[in-house]
A and B are shown apart, each in its own frame.
Chain A
Amino acid sequence: MFYRSGRRNSRHRYQQGKHKRQQNNDREAIPLVSSINANLDRIAGILKAPEDLVVRSFKIGVNRHACAIICIDGLVDKALIQNQVIDPLLHHFTEQQVDSANKIATLVVDEVLTSFDIGENETYEDSIGSLLSGDSVLLIEGLATAIIIGSSGWNSRSVEEPQTESIIRGPREGFVEDIRTNTSLIRRRLREPNLRLITYKLGERARRTVVMMYIEGIVHPDLVEEAKRRIESIEIDDVEGSGTIEQWMSDSFLSPFPLIANTERPDKVTGGLLQGRIGILVDGDPFALVLPITFSSNLQSPEDYYQNWLIATLTRIMRLGAAFLATFLPALYISLLEFHHGMIPSKLAFSIAGAREGVPFPAVVEAFIMEITLELLREAGIRLPKPIGQTIGIVGGLVIGEAAVSAGIVSPVMVIVVAVTAISSFSFPSYSFAISLRMVRFAIMIAAAFFGLYGIILSYIMINIHFVNLYSFGIPYSTPFAPLFWGDWKDIILRAPVEYLKDRPRMLQTRDSIRMKRK
């Protein structure tokens, strides 16, 4: 099978988990009884009657039939419950004579309640699950079934511009924490009846909503199966966010490189879905996952498709160059200075030597001092409140750089090298990829310190060995370079004119590979 499983033992783990969950069910799957008071007591008892549990009891009809509505304060839209549930219930039955609880239940659902999201369930566990998701539970005396009314409504952030992936041209919408808003952002872009949303409740305790999306008829069925298998194998109290799911589903946890992309941009997810990839949204996290990806996906930005192909191609070549610089530049500097002075043009060699005069450290130490300072500044800039964060940039960039040079700790050339490296590493659309390169950069610097150019080329070879043995859901990370897919090269470094991007990426083996009708 092409889309093969990454972890050998995950099936085993999954079955273990199932077993455990079964036990939980045994303990809690107790059916509701027909006595309303018993039900109320039991539910309140399980939750230990917290303060935010609201119980509104009332009596309806001529013969004063007891009913109660329970919900959790803060999770529900109170106006909705009042207008669409309590109001109609109290006014509808004033003149009617109804005896059996079943009849009332049928009437309530069929004629009285005006809210449209209504369901039923019969166990305490399910009722409490609904309560905790923001639904209201309507209990009726004499009825062993709870009527669930969808009433969730809480404050959530409005759709804003994504923080991490800014682009010049293109939609400014980013995902928010609320998953319903996020699915709507995708749906609004993709009015495709074959768009499938598979909902999971993940986390033994948190029961977080996770939605897997794909377009049936495009995506390879094996990929969907494999992704489902991996999602279902998640066995944890709370999935916490897309990051945890990403790590759980990745083929290899030993690799520094991202095997699943994360993005705040709905247009990126939509593009991925149309290419035959799978998107995953997690409730409470504005980051969506897109899988599978390859090395080259990290250098692509949605903006590439909004710009003229020449501009986009140039930008991509620039990013590739940036990837090279961000990874190898400090190492090259070290190896040239420590091992291969002869390779530097003589005039430049003189000026570098002049600038380095008085610097007490070898180039390696110098490079490490500056690189580590820079990483610290970057980290501090993220943590600090925004206004101070900018100050840190100025302090770090100007003051420390300038001061370090005049104090004779580092040479000005080193400052240039570090600055160019930093700028290059900020130019990727994928933040997690930039972090991976950062890590690799330090390793290569060490290699260069020991073996010069030879060390750099060996590290480059090592990275490539790592890539060819790395898979993202069965797709080699080095695709489409190796294995070769010439057709996909149109949209890797080159971004061919829109008219020529007729096929979906072949490496994804889509069921419908044609994007445009051929004339």
Chain B
Amino acid sequence: MERAEFEQLAIEQMDAVYRMALQLARHPDEASDLVQETYLRAIRASSRFEERGGGIRSWLFTILHNVFYSRVDKKKRAPALVDEFFEADQTERPPDEAPPAWDLATLDWDHVDGRLKKAIDALPEDQREPLLLWGVGGMKYREIAEIMNVPIGTVMSRLHRARATLAKELEEFTREIGWHGATHAAGTQDDG
């Protein structure tokens, strides 16, 4: 790949990388710092991009992930992640979760935005990051596994737990506002 082509592809992804950095760091200046360091490392390692193959966005997200966690106090993330990593393997099957506990046909997602955002912000970091990579970064499960350097089964179980937390939060919300469609589906789609 020509240098100019690499530069163009990388710069095209800057908004996506910044957006993800902002989600991780939760502060604009820290996000700028993260993005700057991510691109500096990307430039220095550009030859490795071609060797590795794959999309440039997921490659930049991988660097961003590493930069971010190299700055986070290791105590914050080590225990759960290390255990999980060794317990999970590539053949781990994801949990077969129950279907959502409300009638999807009647749920108006636009009305749950505020509550959903709060619930996402409150997720543990090891669940929030894969959820954001999936929802905001547009990454697929296997790409998230590569970015976070964990088995795909681990990604699935973390996203499962994140979804379960969000579903519970939204279910409570629909109950609070008297959403009559809520729980309707639980009885009719229970096949999990």
Q: Do A and B form a real pair?
A: no
Which residue numbers of A lie inside 8 Å of B, CB to CB?
none
